[in-house]
Amino acid sequence: MRAATTITVGSHAPQFNGHGIWIDGQSGRPRRVALSFDDDAGEMVIDNRIAWPFQRIRRLRDQADPDRIVLRSADDRVGRLVLERPEELRVIETRARRLNRAPPPNVPLARIVAWAAAALASVALIIFVLVPVMADRLAGFLPLEGERALGEATFEQIRRALGDEFEGPLSTCDAPEGQAALIALQERLLPHADLAVPVTLRVLDHEMVNAFALPGGQIVVFRGLIDAAGTAEEVTAVLAHEMGHVAARDPTRIALRSAGSIGVLGLLLGDFAGGAVVLALTNQLIQADYTREAEAAADTYAHRVLLDADLPPEGIATFFERLAGDAGAPTALEQHFLSHPAMGDRIAAARAATPDGRSFAPALTEAEWAALQAICEE
């Protein structure tokens, strides 16, 4: 009777007598064990044989049953202690203050970082070095028919990517008089173009101010570019520039590159970003981020062809200046164009290539130019 009413203070009482099941991680023989505290040593003692420092006791996290409590020591990877009476956790909690911390990881962080760096370096090497180098080499060996097929596939890909979900792929503009004007421009340039592939000119109904070449001699102009151009000469100058890319097979390189890198990016970003990847790469195809040398070469080529065809190379310069001087705020795309460091050089080069005081034959008649501007109207 007296013993029961004694109030003891300090670390010796009340005694904790817990009930656990000890899983040693060596055999499939779980054992019932008694749990007690050794507060002097700061340890929980399991069956007088194993001692866990309070600070090292961890609880398994994300368990389905909150009443089936499994404990471990941060220092023991396999041993586990199942509490037979979940309410005893409250007592253990008063000592084991780091119960809910994560146990130390099995994989050293340094190794993860090293592998992550290696993996990213390898992906970067593949996308930025290996695939471009191979694409550049292979582009030279691609037979013409293969190039045309690639161009056709790429063209369809662009129409789909820029099209509307409801109205389907982007439509090509083919009002007859406009087509006739386009062919007139083509006939004017081609005799001087010296191209190995037949050229196909097409206009797509999109407001973007852009034109690009695709493998196999396809040149695509967006309606936005015709709208933005002030004269037929400006459109012609852009076409001549794109023919320069065709002559150098630049688009084939870009398309082969995208064939290599599209899957790699999809792999990295997972499935739900797949659509975004296709869009980004399509964007790359039509923005055609060629090297400065490739752009300069296409310009030089254009200057020669234009002069031979009795057209002013200056069209390139006036077109870019018109975009820059447009009263309306320039779109993000035009900003990109104009901020390009090479742009000033290109304008200057086009000016320099135009002999002073020479007069040229107009690219199109007034009526033909009006028809070209209306090529997307049914």
Partner 1 sequence: MDGQDTSRIHVGPGPAPSPTWPGGARPRLLPDASPPPPEPLLLDADTLPVDCAATRGPLFRLALKTGALTVITLGFYRFWMKSRLRRWYWSSVRPGGLPLEYVGEPLEKLLGFLIAVALLAFYIGVVNLLLMFLSLSVFEGAAPAFLLSFVGVIPLWFYARYRARRYVLGRTRWRGLRFGMDPGAWGYAKTALGHWAATILTLGLLWPRMTFALEKYRTDRTWFGSLKLRQTGDWRMLVPAFTPLAVAGLATAGIGLLALFSAPEFAAGLILAVPAFLYAMIHYTVTAKRLMAEAKRAGDLRLSARPRPPRILRIYLFGGIAMVIVTAVLLSPLVIAFGVLQGELEARMIEDPILLAALGLVAYMISALIWATLTHVFITMPKWRHYAETLTLHGAESLPWVHQRHRDEATQAEGFAEALDVGAAI
Per CB under 8 A, residues contacting partner 1 are 21, 23-32, 60-68, 70, 78-80, 82, 84, 86, 105-107, 109, 111-112, 115-116, 118-120, 122-123, 126-127, 130-131, 134-135, 138, 141-143, 145-150, 153, 256, 259-261, 263-264, 267-272
Q: Is 167 one of the annotated active-site residues of the chain? A: no
Q: What phi and psi values does residue 96 have, to the nearest 5 degrees?
A: -85, 90
Min dist. Cβ of residue 121 to partner 1 (A): 8
Min dist. Cβ of residue 199 to partner 1 (A): 19
Q: What is the DSSP letter of 164?
A: B
- Please report the sign of the dihedral spanned by the C-alpha atoms of residue 109, residue 113, residue 118, residue 119: positive
* Residue tagged active-site, from 242, 314, 334, 368: 242
264-272 long-range contacts (CB < 8 A, ≥24 apart) are: 264/123, 264/126, 264/127, 264/131, 265/127, 268/123
Cα 257 from Cα 281, distance rounded (Å): 10
| Cβ partners under 8 Å of residue 177, min gap 6 | 368, 371, 374, 375
Longest dimension (CA), the chain: 124
Of 126, 122, 188, 194, the closest CA to residue 363 belongs to 188
Min dist. Cβ of residue 257 to partner 1 (A): 8
Min dist. Cβ of residue 290 to partner 1 (A): 19
Min dist. Cβ of residue 169 to partner 1 (A): 17
- Scored b (16 or more CB within 10 A) or e, 186-201 reads bebbeebbeeebebbb
Q: Is the Cβ of residue 216 or residue 312 nearer to partner 1 in the bound state?
A: 216
Q: Is the Cβ of residue 11 or residue 63 nearer to partner 1 in the bound state?
A: 63
Within a 10 A sphere around the Cβ of 222, how many other Cβ atoms? 23
Q: Is the Cβ of residue 30 or residue 230 nearer to partner 1 in the bound state?
A: 30
Helices 144-162, 274-287: crossing angle, 10 deg rounding: 120
Q: Is 342 left (phi over 0), alpha (psi -120 to 50) or beta?
A: alpha
Catalytic residue numbers read 242
